[in-house]
């Protein structure tokens, strides 16, 4: 990574998980920030996008966003609202959560997500280079949906194979490929 680029970690709805690849990645990078966890209104898309915008405002210089799950949706909504005003060097969008399709038990319902502003998913091209890293057996997003989102956003697509939701529940802590994808965006 170039010396002046800051990586901003954008977690999903579960915020910070100690064994998660994003948390482990943050500990390895020289210039990194993380969107802070929310104390209230945790399901509000507007509050989360505002938190992302505040975190970006506190960073000077080039930024690469590293988002996971609903964090990917936060980035898409942020880009629709604020994207052109703040140049972003690139975004790694890992295993997006398809908030327009029903989630398994234990996750918010589609109705709850709609009530809190997550629907519809922004579909226009993102105003910065991006890569969607998608799983073929993600319980929160079918691979074909991830492909369609990547196409709509003008993102490159990386087929991760069968890695579930790329989280500790799927057996993932470290995810070394993230460093390679970030380096690609930083070029």
pLDDT tens figures, 112-157: 999 999 999 999 999 999 999 999 999 999 999 999 999 999 999 9
Strand 6-10 vs strand 63-69: parallel, antiparallel, or unpaired? parallel
Whether residue 138 is contained in a domain is answered as yes
Domain assignment present for 22: yes
* Distance in angstroms (rounded) separating the CA atoms of residues 123 and 120: 9
Does the residue 1 lie in any domain? no
Q: How many domains does the chain have?
A: 1
Q: Cα separation of 100 and 119, whole Å?
A: 7
Per the domain annotation, does 49 fall within a domain? yes
pLDDT, tens digit, 9 for 90 and up, residues 71-87:
999 999 999 998 777 88
Task: Tell me which residue of 31, 44, 123 sits closest to 76, measured CA to CA.
Answer: 123
36 contacts 42 by C-beta, under 8 angstroms = no
pLDDT of residue 3: 79
Q: Is residue 133 part of a domain?
A: yes
Domain span holding position 106: 6-186
For residue 35, being part of any structural domain is answered with yes
> The domain spanning residue 29 has which CATH number?
3.40.50.1820
Q: What pLDDT was estimated at residue 14?
A: 76
Is residue 178 in a domain? yes
Count of residues making up the chain? 187
């Amino acid at each position: 990574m170039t010396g002046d680029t800051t990586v901003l970690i954008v977690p999903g709805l579960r915020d910070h998980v100690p064994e998660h690849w994003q948390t482990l990645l943050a500990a390895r990078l020289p210039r990194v920030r993380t969107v802070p966890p929310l104390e209230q209104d945790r399901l509000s898309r507007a509050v989360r996008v505002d938190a992302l915008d505040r975190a970006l405002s506190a960073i000077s210089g080039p930024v690469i966003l590293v988002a996971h799950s609903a964090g990917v949706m936060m980035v898409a909504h942020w880009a629709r609202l604020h994207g052109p005003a703040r140049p972003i060097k690139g975004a790694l969008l890992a295993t997006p959560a398809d908030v327009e399709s029903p989630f398994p038990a234990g996750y918010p319902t589609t109705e709850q997500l709609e009530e809190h502003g997550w629907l519809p998913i922004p579909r226009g091209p993102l105003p910065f280079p991006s890569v969607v890293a998608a799983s073929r057996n993600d319980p929160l997003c079918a691979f074909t949906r991830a492909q369609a989102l990547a196409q709509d956003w003008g993102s490159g697509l990386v087929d991760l194979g069968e890695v579930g939701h790329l989280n500790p529940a799927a057996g993932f802590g470290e995810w070394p490929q993230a460093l390679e994808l970030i380096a690609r965006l930083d070029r």
